[in-house]
Structure 1
Amino acid sequence: RSVLRSVFDEVIEVDALDSADSVRLALMQRPELGVTFTKLHCWTLTHYSKCVFMDADTLVLCNVDELFDREEFSAAPDSGWPDCFNSGVFVFRPSLKTYNLLLRFAAEHGSFDGGDQGLLNSFFSNWATADIGKHLPFLYNLSSSAVYTYVPAFNHFGRDAKVVHFLGATKPWNYKYNLQTKRVMQDGTTPGSFHQLSFLALWWNIYSASILPLLEKLQKMEESESEECKHTFNGVEITLKKVSPSVANSLQMPLLPEQTYETYPTARPPEELTFEVQLVREVEQSGSNVHLPEPDRPSEQLVFHRAFQETSDLNEVTHSVSELSIHFKLEEPSPEDERRKWEEGRMDYMGKDAFEHIKKKLDAFLH
């Protein structure tokens, strides 16, 4: 979606519409065409006065703005049955009324081929005879796989082709393409038609030059974002960055004054990344530093600094920060503090001041 939005001015997501007519689709051996009913959504684009629909397997070879001079419903003849139009390219006017009529027609009559083309030809049934001005030239919907049927005509008119339509079950992206030789292959053999091969090569040249760099850029951005995440807990903002073991060996990180952090790994499935980190306070005259132990597996860098936020949910932190739990280590009470607690009657009979602990001290003193 991100790549589409970087290329097109507007990208709208719609729900899939399926004819579910497996019987008629089986006659063409094209069961995947049932979902082409989805293109009916184009009539809901009512913020536009006129549109040109193009299938995803079409390739525009030049500017075709003149199509907007045509009226609804303008389309090119289908090469298999010229009295029908091919629904891969057509001019239409968005209208909720037309959209609802199409849905009702589909529910009541279905499609004679199980796909959108049969439905639209039945709905716009007077296309073949009513207005020749609504017949687009074949050059606006040239079938790349059918040019062999009349090679002399293609040699004469083909250079003026404006839109190529890759009909059939095998699409350009199903072929193999060698970036070095710039040749299109399928299962180790080249396609039979020279003309189809030239159009496939053109499609792949455009894809590798204009689209592939966008996909690679997006992939790098996603990898970069996945390598760093931030969370805040009790006024401490924690940034995790994934680093290689060789880099982790030399990492040094500042520790907040008068605080010690201990981290404990949580058990995770074996296929997921696991790591173990322990931060220990070292007090030196030159300052306080924390050194990561040498890891034997991919590790993560922890960076601590004060944040303006005061609190956060401990459960959220422990779940999202790579299953890492963070605890503040309490300072050991001094002997003076212990004596003061006894004088005030605040003994810890369930813990440190339990009878067995007192008995051990007395035994050690007497013996």
Structure 2
Amino acid sequence: MTDQAFVTLATTDSYAKGVMVLGKSLRNHNTSRKLVALIGPHVSETSRAVLHKLYDEVRLVDVLDSGDTAHLALMKRPDLGVTFTKLHCWSLTHYSKCVFMDADTLVLANVDELFDREELSAAPDPGWPDCFNSGVFVFRPSEDTYSKLLQYCTEHGSFDGGDQGVLNSFFRGWATEDIGKHLPFIYNMSSIALYTYLPAFKQYGSNAKVVHFLGKTKPWSYTYDPKKRALKGSVEEASSHPSFLLEWWSIYSSCVVPMLHHEHGDQPFYSGCAGSSGCDEETLPPLVPAALPAPPLSSAERKQRWEQGQADYMGIDAFANIEKKLTAFLKRW
């Protein structure tokens, strides 16, 4: 399938690490499609050299920035403005159909069947299911669509300041017109959803094919000890299931870091792996077991999570605990 491709994007060296792991995970699961990486001018020559080994095509693109500080402030994510650069993927007209995947996704199984879907196919966003999450979507490159998207951005902007807002507005029929364009959640399983609806994760999580590390803290934000298979970093920042983070780091440490070392030569660099020749041990945060439980929530925090539909159904908010509380309350009367 030489005219079909998986496409991703990196605008910095940090996100390039994610793109490297994504590419390797697609290769590990024997994709038959081409791999394309769009990169911004700030991606270093070292990262570019590694990407050329993992991807069939590495294309330099201009960085588009929404400049929408007001909407980005609502999300507390000023870094998302440059995600507009993702719109360049519609300019890849030498491909008939593509699947875009964010740099912070990890493939857990072969997903070539996604190419059976039509534009614009995507999975619902866990925060607002009538919107699709733009971390994984099927599209058809087209100069006409590309120019219309850029024009739409100029005239209307984005309701969230990033690419997801403008794409949902542009492809506004996604929620209601064709259910066949709704990808199952297993193709874009957002890591934060594991905590908002844990019973579903326990029921269906083993079928997941793509995990998406949503949130400000990305897998490459941690440090990894390959010998202990343990993460270093702040537990408060953790928004992803430890097993998926460890799988990401297993690929990065065993496959990507050696390539980065080779391209870097004698120049030291921070690989993120404890004990590697490029890791400055003095800068590492303290070792924290990946499965360490979070501190107990205050009553106000619990109330807020309930109101947001994020009750801990398998823990403190389990029915058995609620029943005990009610029984104790009634006994007082």
Matched ranges for 1:45-56 at <5 A: 45-56=92-103
Q: 2:249 aligns with which of 199, 204, 208?
A: 204
Higher helix share: 2
- The secondary structure found in structure 2 opposite 1:20 is coil
Are 1:220 and 2:265 counterparts? yes
CA deviations 1:76-131 (Å, max 9, x no partner) are 00000000000000000000000000000000011000000000000000100000
AA aligned opposite 1:157: Y
Q: Where do 5+ consecutive residues of structure 1 fail to align?
A: 224-367
Cα distance in 2 between the residues matched to 1:111 and 1:125: 13
Are 1:178 and 2:225 counterparts? yes
How far did residue 190 of structure 1 move?
A: 7.7
Contact preservation (8 Å) 2:217, 2:237: no
TM superposition outliers: structure 1 runs of 4+ over 6 Å: none
Q: Which residue number in structure 1 is paired with residue 204 of structure 2? A: 157
Cα distance in 1 between the residues matched to 2:225 and 2:157: 43
CA deviations 1:29-72 (Å, max 9, x no partner) are 00000000000000000000000000000001111000000000
Q: Which residue number in structure 1 is paired with residue 161 of structure 2? A: 114
Q: Which residue number in structure 2 is paired with residue 237 of structure 1? A: none
How far did residue 218 of structure 1 move?
A: 1.2
Q: Which residue number in structure 2 is paired with residue 169 of structure 1? A: 216
How far did residue 216 of structure 1 move?
A: 1.1
Cα distance in 2 between the residues matched to 1:175 and 1:33: 20
- The secondary structure found in structure 2 opposite 1:82 is coil
Cα distance in 1 between the residues matched to 2:53 and 2:127: 37
Q: Which residue number in structure 2 is paired with residue 96 of structure 1? A: 143
Higher strand share: 1
Contact preservation (8 Å) 2:217, 2:238: no
Q: Which residue number in structure 1 is paired with residue 172 of structure 2? A: 125
- The secondary structure found in structure 1 opposite 2:59 is coil
Are 1:136 and 2:183 counterparts? yes
Identity of aligned residues (%): 66
> Which of structures 1 and 2 has the larger relative contact order (alpha carbons within 8 angstroms, sep 6+)?
2
Q: Which residue number in structure 2 is paired with residue 60 of structure 1? A: 107
Q: Which residue number in structure 1 is paired with residue 152 of structure 2? A: 105
AA aligned opposite 2:140: R
How far did residue 191 of structure 1 move?
A: 6.0
How far did residue 179 of structure 1 move?
A: 2.0
Relative distance call for 1:161 and 1:44 in structure 2 (3 A) is same
Q: Which residue number in structure 2 is paired with residue 71 of structure 1? A: 118
Matched ranges for 1:1-367 at <5 A: 1-187=48-234, 189=235, 196-220=241-265
Contact preservation (8 Å) 1:144, 1:167: yes
Cα distance in 2 between the residues matched to 1:198 and 1:72: 32
- The secondary structure found in structure 2 opposite 1:11 is strand
Q: Which residue number in structure 1 is paired with residue 17 of structure 2? A: none
* TM-score, normalization by structure 1: 0.58
In our comparison, the structure showing a higher alpha carbon Rg is: 1
Contact preservation (8 Å) 2:104, 2:214: yes
* TM-score, normalization by structure 2: 0.64
- The secondary structure found in structure 2 opposite 1:36 is helix
Cα distance in 1 between the residues matched to 2:245 and 2:254: 14
CA deviations 1:265-288 (Å, max 9, x no partner) are xxxxxxxxxxxxxxxxxxxxxxxx
Cα distance in 1 between the residues matched to 2:94 and 2:266: 33
AA aligned opposite 2:207: D
- The secondary structure found in structure 2 opposite 1:157 is helix
Q: Where do 5+ consecutive residues of structure 2 fail to align?
A: 1-47, 269-333
How far did residue 222 of structure 1 move?
A: 7.7
Q: Which residue number in structure 2 is paired with residue 345 of structure 1? A: none
Contact preservation (8 Å) 1:184, 1:190: no
How far did residue 156 of structure 1 move?
A: 1.1
Contact preservation (8 Å) 2:108, 2:211: yes
AA aligned opposite 2:77: R
